[in-house]
């Protein structure tokens, strides 16, 4: 239950998440919240922050992700990002899904400008290694997301699918190296989202995205990962975690896992 001791989600929503492995909750971020995130990450995009965001500020157009790579762990250097990683409406939904309090493990921001490659199908808990329990992602659409600008893809009902050893992804289509082949009986489903919607999904759910095929639309997303409060270990890359009130939590180190998808080393024409 949430701290207010009430249930945020309906029973139907909770059952859908348990069965399908994902759930979209509309409008969890207000336009005021989104404007703050717009301003915060626009400012971040104009600088280099070693270890967290290292763009080539003078890059050409051969690979948009060279100019706009993802921002890793912005909560570690930016208080606004940390406050939105602990956004109360998101934590309320997570408390209902976990049936216990969530603790925040990771934040990321994807700019995904026009022409950007996507991210091959993968499973998040392969990297976080939350035990016992599982991670849940909260994927917030900062821009409307659809098939054209590289919105998220999920493979429903793979939330109970075991973590598998990934294959090598296609570097022409994915900026990360890992690819998890979905089971034959389940198809890939595109998730269309409006600005401010949040997609929650289980750490074993197979998901990814295609490239941004548009010429003029970014597909920005603020993405955070969480663990259940009863978890005892996680990969060291995600420590410390944080409670709702901002208090840090140091779980034991799970030696497996690592950063959320290893990136290909880009090759640029001379």
pLDDT tens, residue by residue, 203-233? 999 999 999 999 999 999 999 999 999 999 9
Q: What is the pLDDT of residue 268?
A: 29
Helix (H, G, I), strand (E, B) or coil at 85: helix
Cβ–Cβ < 8 Å for 227, 162? no
Q: What is the pLDDT of residue 4?
A: 45
Predicted confidence band of residue 256 (pLDDT cuts 50, 70, 90): confident
Q: What is the pLDDT of residue 225?
A: 98
Mean pLDDT, residues 121-138 taken together: 96
- Give the lowest-confidence range in 86-90, 176-180, 224-228: 176-180
Q: What is the pLDDT of residue 262?
A: 54
Written as one string, the DSSP assignment of 21-55 is SEEEETT-S-HHHHHHHHHHHHHHHTS-BTTTB--
Count other Cβ atoms within 10 Å, centred on residue 61.
10
Q: Single out the residue of 221, 76, 80, 217 nearest to residue 138, CA to CA.
A: 221
Cβ–Cβ < 8 Å for 137, 201? yes
Helix (H, G, I), strand (E, B) or coil at 253: strand
How many whole angstroms from its chain centre is CA 82? 15
Cβ–Cβ < 8 Å for 120, 176? yes
Q: What is the pLDDT of residue 60?
A: 80
Q: Which domains occur in the chain, in start order?
A: 11-55+63-254 (2.60.120.620)
Cβ–Cβ < 8 Å for 226, 138? yes
Strand partners, 139: 199, 223
Distances (CA, A) of 218 to 7, 133, 239: 35, 34, 30
Count other Cβ atoms within 10 Å, centred on residue 153.
20
- Burial of residue 43 (CB within 10 Å: 0-12, 13-18, 19+) is exposed
Contacts of residue 77, Cβ cutoff 8 Å, sequence gap at least 6: 49, 52
Q: What is the pLDDT of residue 260?
A: 53
Written as one string, the DSSP assignment of 179-237 is E-PPPTT---EE--B-TT-EEEEETT--EEE-----SS----EEEEEEEETT--EEEGG
Mean pLDDT, residues 250-262 taken together: 76
Q: What is the pLDDT of residue 263?
A: 53
Is the pTM higher than 0.85? The answer reads yes
Rounded Cα distance between 150 and 220, Å, is 10
- Give the lowest-confidence range in 61-65, 173-177, 209-213, 258-262: 258-262
Rounded Cα distance between 31 and 142, Å, is 10
Q: Could you tell me how many residues make up the chain?
A: 270
pLDDT over 50 at 138, yes or no: yes
């Amino acid at each position: 239950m949430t701290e207010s001791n009430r249930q945020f989600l309906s029973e139907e929503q909770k059952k859908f998440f348990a069965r399908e492995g994902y759930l979209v909750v509309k409008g969890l971020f207000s336009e005021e919240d989104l404007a703050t995130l717009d301003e915060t990450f626009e400012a971040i995009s104009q600088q280099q922050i070693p270890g967290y965001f290292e763009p080539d500020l003078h890059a050409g157009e051969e690979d948009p992700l060279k100019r706009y790579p993802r921002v890793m762990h912005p909560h570690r250097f930016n208080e606004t990002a940390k406050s939105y990683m602990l956004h109360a409406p998101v934590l309320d939904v997570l408390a209902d899904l976990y049936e216990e309090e969530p603790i925040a493990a990771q934040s990321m921001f994807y700019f995904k400008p026009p022409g950007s490659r996507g991210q091959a199908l993968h499973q998040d808990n392969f990297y976080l290694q939350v035990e016992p329990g599982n991670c849940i992602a909260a994927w917030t659409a900062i821009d409307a997301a659809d098939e054209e600008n590289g919105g998220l893809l999920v493979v429903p009902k793979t939330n109970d699918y075991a973590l598998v050893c990934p294959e090598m992804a296609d570097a022409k289509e994915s900026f990360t190296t890992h690819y998890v082949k979905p089971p034959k009986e389940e198809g890939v489903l595109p998730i269309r989202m409006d600005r401010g919607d949040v997609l929650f999904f289980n750490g074993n759910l197979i998901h990814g995205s295609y490239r941004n095929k548009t010429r003029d639309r970014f597909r920005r997303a603020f993405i955070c990962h969480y663990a259940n409060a009863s978890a005892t270990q996680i990969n060291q890359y995600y420590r410390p975690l944080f409670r709702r009130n901002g208090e840090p939590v140091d779980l034991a180190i799970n030696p497996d896992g690592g950063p959320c998808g290893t990136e290909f080393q880009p090759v640029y024409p001379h």
